[in-house]
Structure 1
Amino acid sequence: MCFSLNTGGAVNSVSGFFAAGGVIHDGKGNWVLGYNRFLGKCSVAIVELWGILDDLLILQNQGYNEVAIHSDNLEIVIGISNSILEESSSNLIRRIQQILAEEEKRSLR
């Protein structure tokens, strides 16, 4: 069964602190689980990358290997595909790429 990851982020307009979160659905669209992570002050790209990485790690730990990652941030998709985002996010990108490379049934859209 293929699982779908949807990630997002939020920022507190007063403090400027970010949080990342995600929802994982099964192949039928049923909610499997959700999570969130406090990130403090960072860029939107970092929030997006942490969301993707957290989703992948959760699914990997659960033993699920068919995953479709959906992102509405083209910069992130290109960055993961080509590893060209800002230097501070390169470790996150490399870790995501490693996880995606481990299973051929994982895709990024």
Structure 2
Amino acid sequence: MTDQLLHPARPPIDTWASVHERLHQDRLPELDASGDIEFDTNDGLVEYQTSYARTESRFSLASLRRIWAKVLYTLIALIAAVLLIGVIAAVAATTFDISVFQAFI
């Protein structure tokens, strides 16, 4: 993790050690205590927790795309239905000499 934070710079070993020490002694245990990550102090492993409560409160990019796709398809279907009804009404009005507006007069 320290390498990723300092990449692509090649700092002196003292800088790398200082960042590594602060991460492993301070920041990672704090994040582990807050429940944001799981940090194994013995092995130095970091895992990101994905609990149901956390994923319930925010959507992933993939789920947002699916939602927007459904909304878009629904809107397209509604517009197509309105246009189809308009075309049918226009054809009926010209074919059978019916005025749609006579009902409102």
Instruction: Provide the TM-score with structure 2 as the length reference.
Output: 0.25
* Higher Cα Rg, which structure: 2
Instruction: Provide the TM-score with structure 1 as the length reference.
Output: 0.24
Higher helix share: 2
Bigger relative contact order (CA 8 A; separation at least 6):
1
Higher strand share: 1
